[in-house]
Structure 1
């Protein structure tokens, strides 16, 4: 069976007190340019090769080979306060997450006026949190099946092509090979360590109204995944774990209003309502539901602007609303909330061929009250608040 760390990531979310800082467990941090404008218009602006992460059809807008290489540092802050279990105070955690570096690289090669192809490496998913301090308060009993340590990372390797139909319309499609690795521990109850690969895909279109106005649309397909690995739960080893993942659609627009000033926007929809339950399988036993969830679809809406100061300097800014996925059934294992993004960035052009981008985003999440019952239906409740500072740098070259 295919092994897939996206699946392991979902398993970690299902089994653990995992904190993330975007809806579900998505990472909207594929480029420094995008982070400088809250990812607004990223599926159609095509100011460098990083557009490949959002819309393969936008490669048709390039008439030269393009290369972009960058990295983002995600300084994630997760606070857990007033944790209570059986009338006991389990304490608080100032920061349950660690900062992570998220690299990326993109290459676009136009073959002729109609056809282009490209390759990319970036991350769409990742999370990590350590809530074991809540199990270590002297003189208390804690729900160890809900508290522990989780580390997960994924890398998306993409190959795409685009084809220009006419002066206005271009189409694109791509295939994603996703490699991931992760660890999960919950005392002696849960131990998971696995890595693997799986296949996904993306389709897109780019529509050029005229030279100053264009629209982009893309759809990323995320089928249900079945993974194999070292999976132990409540003393039983399992061979396979099944996770439904969200498809992602986005609409983006770009409008050059003056010679120096442009606005752009994105509406991203994620089908998190498909994330209904996590199941485990063994060949000799029936499927077991590990945990049920009742998530809702989410929206990420962003608006940004770009201003060319001169031939050397470009500045950009953006704001975004990131809706959480948790519906009526709250859970300490998924303490999601609505978040606001505040972004700013700039580019410096060394020449007509090369440039460097810097981007910064502050993610501010709401403080939420979370209650969850453990395996024997005893509730733990706490307040959680999560956010992040993104710092990103990227080098771009055309040739």
Structure 2
């Protein structure tokens, strides 16, 4: 049982603290404008201050101070269907809604210093979700795979400070510091059936309450061919997160093992975006984003209080992933702007799959609008439907053996944002 208890622990802390993305967990909710165009061109469009989340060099495109404040409601849906083991002879059941919705706020401020320098500060969230599979542990009359099922709650906040420098009329560079705060809670418990006369015994397999801070960075460039055509490129350096707290797992139903820290290597992100104003009213834009999840090899724990000082919790076989999107923007008049986008989001799970990580390739369908009250005030609304593929998962439980299930995940994003140009 040790291997899979560790797997669940590692997955939960990864969600709580990672700054980079796995397709299965990235909320991609940094702005309402981005939600409305499937993040297409977000690293270079610079139509409001939220561009700071994607490319610090794009701050050089601002002639005056800019503020953007918003929030996204992520209605995340995770389905776990036809959970069974013993070759299908023992059905455990299904769960139609294993995830909870989250409100995800964001804040951006950009201030030009002169015609060369600008600085900005931001706070936004890359992850924030909750899954609860505990109803599947309470099926009467059978032994359920409690080592694979349970409750997870995670929250992350990314604080960013950046500067940009305009080299000439075409090229600008940017540099930023990321400070990431992650918190997470995880429980895995239930009854284990032992031979008579002992019978069912309640067991606490995993109990985690951990948080941590990490430092990363981002570099970027913006290249303007002319006022109608420009390109953006950025690279985010992701840190190794150390999360600390109360970390317990129960190896082999023998004795709980306690650790104080978890160390998590995280993947870097490269992003390229383009923007083209084709007419006075119509523009197209696109994004190609690559995440180096192949560098995410394992998660380890240190600071053991019992028999072990350190241990590798989980070996991963994740793959590099791509997020590709294309969008369009149309200015109806001086007050109204509409936009739309389409994206394909590649999953990261390779040969190793899990009930607790229902990842898959996903498709984005996005639409949004902006209403400008005047040259200073505007409000954005964005909506995205994310549809994931149905995936067959087979995961080994140390309690009941191989467990088969079908998982599917998706989301509805609703975003609202206020912008002010000074």
Q: For the superposition of Structure 1 and Structure 2, which TM-score range results when normalised by the shorter chain? A: over 0.9
Distance in 2, Cα, partners of 1:226 & 1:260? 48
Deviation (angstroms), 1:13: 6.4
Task: Report the TM-score, using the length of structure 2 for normalisation.
Answer: 0.89
Which aligned pairs between 1:359-370 and structure 2 lie closer than 5 A? 359-370=382-393
Gaps of 5+ in 1: 1-7
Say yes or no: does 1:29 pair with 2:20: no
Q: Could you tell me whether the CA contact under 8 Å between 1:40 and 1:304 is conserved in 2?
A: yes
Distance in 2, Cα, partners of 1:225 & 1:179? 10
Say yes or no: does 1:162 pair with 2:145: no
Instruction: Pick one of 250, 257, 261 that aligns with 1:240.
Output: 261
Deviation (angstroms), 1:125: 2.1
Task: Quickly say closer, same or farther: Cα 1:10–1:389, change in 2 above 3 A.
Answer: farther
Q: Secondary structure at the match of 2:136?
A: helix
Instruction: Pick one of 282, 288, 303 that aligns with 1:267.
Output: 288
Instruction: Pick one of 365, 373, 394 that aligns with 2:396.
Output: 373
Q: Could you tell me whether the CA contact under 8 Å between 2:40 and 2:327 is conserved in 1?
A: yes
Name the structure 2 match of 1:151: 153
Deviation (angstroms), 1:331: 2.0
Distance in 1, Cα, partners of 2:411 & 2:163? 34
**Which moved further from structure 2: 57-66 or 21-30?**
21-30
CA deviation map 1:236-291 (0-9, x unaligned): 10122111111111000000001100000000111111122111123684531211
Instruction: Pick one of 315, 324, 337 that aligns with 1:292.
Output: 315
Name the structure 1 match of 2:410: 387
* Structure with bigger gyration radius: 2
Deviation (angstroms), 1:127: 2.7
Q: Could you tell me whether the CA contact under 8 Å between 2:229 and 2:276 is conserved in 1?
A: yes
Name the structure 2 match of 1:4: none
Task: Quickly say closer, same or farther: Cα 1:317–1:357, change in 2 above 3 A.
Answer: same
Gaps of 5+ in 2: 1-7, 190-203, 251-255
Task: Report the TM-score, using the length of structure 1 for normalisation.
Answer: 0.94
Q: Secondary structure at the match of 1:47?
A: coil
Name the structure 2 match of 1:330: 353
CA deviation map 1:2-54 (0-9, x unaligned): xxxxxx996406799xxxx9615322110000000000000000000000000
Which aligned pairs between 1:168-179 and structure 2 lie closer than 5 A? 168-179=170-181
Deviation (angstroms), 1:299: 0.3
Pairwise CA RMSD: 1.8
Say yes or no: does 1:282 pair with 2:303: yes
Q: Secondary structure at the match of 1:334?
A: coil
Distance in 1, Cα, partners of 2:235 & 2:419? 26
Say yes or no: does 1:122 pair with 2:138: no
Task: Quickly say closer, same or farther: Cα 1:14–1:45, change in 2 above 3 A.
Answer: closer
Name the structure 2 match of 1:200: 216
Count of aligned residue pairs for this structure pair: 388
